[in-house]
Structure 1
Amino acid sequence: MTTAMPDAVEAASDEPTYRILLIEDDEGDALLVEELLHDTGLRFELTTRTTLAEARAELTLTPIDCILLDLHLPDVSGIEAVAAVRILAPNTAVIVLTGLSEAQAGTDAMAAGAQDYLVKGKVEADLLHRTVRYAVYRSRTERASALAQVAQMRAEENARLERGLLPQPMLDTSTVKVTSRYLPGAAMALLGGDFLDVVEGDDGLLHAVVGDVSGHGPDAAALGVCLRIAWRSLVLGGHRGEDLLHLMERILIAERGSHHLFATCTLLTIDQDAATATLHLAGHHEPLLTTAEGTRELTAAHGIALGIVPELRSWPSTVIPLPAAGALTLYTDGLTEGHNGASSERLGVEGLLTLIENLPPADPARHVDLLIQETNELNAGRHSDDLAVLRLDWGR
């Protein structure tokens, strides 16, 4: 049964309309509650159900602001009734209806999660009015507080992950300018498994990596942090090329556990004296090279992603001659897999190059920010993936 307050009374009140579910199997008590609600002056829509099973069906169909719960139902009773309702509607205010002889029941119900309790036979309209308003307010406040706490914890966890995924470059004598950006795939989301790093080795060469662990969330992010730290440690320890990738793959397999994650990455070594860049692609796409003539995608040999076929160990190298001045941009596929405007097609590398060509002149950091902004606007939220960009400029 569903009833609503008369329109004339509704129009005279500034109260919001409370959607109330009464779970009560006694017809007389249910009628009394309905009459009291009419006397409160509250604007309300009342739905009455006689069992928890009926209430469960109702709660799956209709949003409810407040539940008035009798503790003695045909299919559940006592504190179990409160616990069951809280599971069904964790964000809804619950007011328990107790009998005159149940002095402790109301207190126990509040300890079990109810916002308040009322004793049948001792409820007046003013008391019911205050109790419903306060219970709904308290429930909404608790919900807002919980969401704020989750947001704070998420921000703190993101900050910790970001420190692991986006470290400070280790540069000694190199004149290369480093610009890096990282965005999670969705608002309020945890960072995923994308990672990047830049270090200058004892050999005077500049080493960089951009990688992407499959999947999203804390498992992928933790593995991304692990691989990033492993890469830096191995590079500083003198490991290079296929040997470096083999060791990273061993670490990935050991750390992924039962999660069958894999990772793609690009290794880059810049030798400014020789004016060359050496690439190793492990399931990842080629970087972009920007010169005075424009921006193009490099052509390089491809190797297999880490963790796919561990025994294969195939990561050929490609040596690229570098101009006296230019920039290399390494990125994860979150930059290119979004939609290309109103089209259902993905942006892709060709679309990305067109965007870059049409961007106004800007310093490297501003250029990267504009590029990310443009791709996000074209995508319009239809594709969500983490995005990491690393740009290295020299001779400018």
Structure 2
Amino acid sequence: MAATPAAASSEPVYRILLIEDDAGDALLVEELLHDTTLRFELTTRTTLGGARAELAASPIDCVLLDLHLPDVAGTAAVTAVRGLAPHTAVIVLTGVSEAQAGTEAMAAGAQDYLVKGKVEADLLYRAVRYAVYRSQTERASSQAQATRLRAEENARLERGLLPQPILDTSTVTVTSRYLPGGAMTLLGGDFLDVVEGDDGLLHAVVGDVSGHGPDAAALGVCLRIAWRSLVLGGHRGTDLLHLMERILLAERGSHPLFATCTLLTLDQNAGAATLHLAGHHEPLLTTPEGTRELAAAHGIALGIAPGLVPGQRSWPPTVVPLPTSGALTLYTDGLTEGHNGAKGERLGVEGLLTLISHLPQADPAAHVDLLIKETHDLNAGRHFDDVAVLRLDWGNRPRPR
């Protein structure tokens, strides 16, 4: 590898790969590069095969490419290099009688072409800088486009994961939040929903599909829509969960995804809530006396053991008496799996309850927003999973503590 002497530190160092099998031409290119004011690191390879290994091993800013190599020739060489390094600048080196080959190479994806024997230092200097600038601009544009498409996809999925409640006569106040986690705000499969059935009862679900990305998010949307349709169709409890699991198994395809969820039926007239837990944790009950975790029977997560006969996959109901006024909070584990400040340990349910007890009085929406913010701040970015929170308030709104 050849390199220029140290130059002004403000100038970038161009990592240049020369693919040239003629030793004389390679030496000429290296001498021309030294005659420019470019700061560069030069690596030379004589075949496309050798260049392939170099492009895979380290990032390259610019490839100087001869069109007549032992293992590839013509525009096929340009196509091959662009395939190996789509965002790397390519400048083709042609012979005096190959002007047409140069324009064809640019049509195949090269940024520029230079004619051997007619290249001066100033021309090479401008060609390298312009080609690298153009390739960097194309890369930035491509990344911006990918980010925009990802944001649009996330927005569509998020609308499916966080729907509008269907409420007719219910006086329950519904507060829901969904916060994606992971790199580039990648959505996961957390989902929630609330509907009022024809029976006058309020039905709610919070769930979490394993994994992240569009497959998990799409399955979360599918399960959420299926749950809403099945509830409005009159399905309840264990029957509902069996049907949701059948849909999950059909929709997940070859992906080994499973889902946890909590089903809740709120009967204000009877002053009771019925819970079904499928591998999910218990909701929190807030009353004027404070907030605590409800005790409830557990069942297996959906899709985790599809080989079991229906009788072995049971989701026993738990009926919980409710006060005349209070709040139930259902959530996914992104709220509790983060770190608890400088202690370095997981926040957990106990830590969450302690945090809630110290939060100031606030209306339900402000309280949920503050709770999510405080858990995020405590975590300090060390672990951030998707967070879905659903809070149901009835009667006189209690003070969370």
| TM-score bracket for the superposition, by shorter chain length | over 0.9
Residue in structure 2 matched with residue 65 of structure 1 by the alignment = 61
Q: How far did residue 239 of structure 1 move?
A: 1.4
Distance across 2 between alignment mates of 1:66 and 1:174: 65
Residue pairs, 1:189-208, within 5 angstroms = 189-208=185-204
How far is 1:89 from its partner? 2.2
Number of residue-to-residue matches in the alignment: 392
Q: How far off is 1:150 after superposition?
A: 0.6
- Letter of the 1:125 partner, please give it: A
Alignment of 1:191-270 (within 5 A): 191-270=187-266
**Residue 380 of structure 2 is aligned to residue 380 of structure 1:** yes
In 1, the alpha carbon distance for the partners of 2:155 and 2:238 equals 32
**Which residues of structure 2 form unaligned runs of 5+?**
none
How far has the Cα of 1:175 moved from its partner? 1.6
Any idea what SS the aligned residue of 2:341 has? Answer: coil
1:364 aligned partner, one-letter code = P
2:339 maps to: 339
Matched with 1:172 is 168
- Which residue number in structure 2 is paired with residue 103 of structure 1? 99
Task: Return the alpha-carbon distance in structure 2 between the equivalents of residues 101 and 344 of structure 1.
Answer: 69
Q: Does 1:389 align with 2:389?
A: yes
Q: How does 1:38-187 map to 2 (within 5 A)?
A: 38-187=34-183
Give the CA RMSD over aligned residues: 1.9
Task: Quote the offset at 1:368 in angstroms.
Answer: 1.5
Read off the aligned partner of 1:148 and give its amino acid letter: A
Q: Secondary structure at the match of 1:214?
A: strand
Once the two structures are TM-superposed, the CA of residue 345 in structure 1 deviates from its matched residue by: 2.8
| 2:31 partner letter | E
Match of 1:277 in 2: 273
The equivalent residue for 1:291 is 287
Q: Secondary structure at the match of 2:286?
A: strand
Residue 210 of structure 1: CA displacement? 0.4
Deviations 1:266-320 (A, max 9, x none): 0011111111111111111100111112111100011111123342341111111
Give, in angstroms, the shift of residue 246 of structure 1: 1.5
Q: Secondary structure at the match of 1:193?
A: strand
2:24 aligned residue: 28
Question: Any unmatched runs of 5+ in structure 1?
Answer: none
Matches within 5 A, 1:280-319: 280-310=276-306, 311=310, 312-319=312-319
Work out whether 1:348 is the aligned partner of 2:348. yes
- Structure 1 residue identity aligned to 2:341: G
Contact 1:66 1:92 (C-alpha < 8 Å) held by counterparts:
yes
- Which string of whole-angstrom CA distances, capped at 9 and with x for unpartnered residues, describes residues 214-249 of structure 1? 222222111111111111111111111111112212
Q: Give CA-to-partner distance per residue, 1:110-159, whole Å, 9 cap, x none.
A: 23322111111222222222211111111011101111111111111111
Give the direction of change, closer, same or farther, for the CA distance of 1:76–1:330 in structure 2 (3 Å limit).
Answer: same
Segment of structure 1 superposing worse, 181-190 or 232-241: 181-190
The whole-number CA distance in structure 1 between the counterparts of 2:274 and 2:258 is 23
TM-score when normalising by structure 1:
0.93
Deviation at 1:37, TM superposition (A): 2.2
Q: Distance in 2 between matches of 1:380 and 1:57?
A: 40
Separation in structure 1 between the aligned mates of residue 109 and residue 124 of structure 2, nearest angstrom: 19
Quote the Cα distance in structure 1 between the aligned partners of 2:94 and 2:369.
61
User: Contact 1:210 / 1:332 at 8 angstroms: preserved in 2?
Assistant: yes
In 2 relative to 1, CA 60–372 (structure 1 residues): closer, same or farther, beyond 3 Å? same
- SS of equivalent residue, structure 2 residue 296: coil
Give the distance between the partners of 1:342 and 1:233, measured in 2 at CA. Answer: 45
Task: Name the residue aligned to 1:327.
Answer: 327
Query: For residues 89 and 384 of structure 2, what CA distance do their matches in structure 1 show?
Result: 34
Distance in 1, Cα, partners of 2:92 & 2:342: 52
Distance across 2 between alignment mates of 1:394 and 1:50: 76
189 and 111 in structure 1: CA distance in 2 versus 1, 3 angstrom threshold: farther
1:182 CA drift (Å): 1.1
Between stretches 135-144 and 338-347, larger displacement belongs to 338-347
Deviation at 1:101, TM superposition (A): 2.4
Aligned partners of 1:337, 1:157: CA distance in 2, in Å? Answer: 26
Could you tell me how far apart the structure 2 residues matched to 1:146 and 1:32 are? 35
Letter in 1 for 2:325: A
Are the structure 2 counterparts of residues 344 and 88 from structure 1 closer, same or farther at C-alpha, using a change threshold of 3 Å? farther
Q: Cα distance 1:14–1:268, how it changes in 2: closer, same or farther (>3 A)?
A: closer
* Post-superposition offset of 1:371: 1.7
Provide the C-alpha distance between the structure 1 equivalents of 2:85 and 2:172, rounded to a whole number of angstroms: 57
Maintained 8 Å contact 1:242/1:313: no
Name the amino acid aligned to 1:356: I
The residue identity in structure 2 corresponding to 1:185 is: G
Q: Provide the rounded CA distance (Å) in 2 between the counterparts of 1:232 and 1:125.
A: 70
After TM superposition, give the deviation of residue 14 of structure 1 in Å: 5.7
SS, match of residue 68 in structure 2:
coil
CA contact (8 A) 1:289 1:328 kept: yes
Q: 1:188 aligned to 184, 190, 193, which one?
A: 184
Q: Give the 3-state SS of the residue equivalent to 2:228 in structure 1.
A: helix
* Contact preservation (8 Å) 1:157, 1:190: no
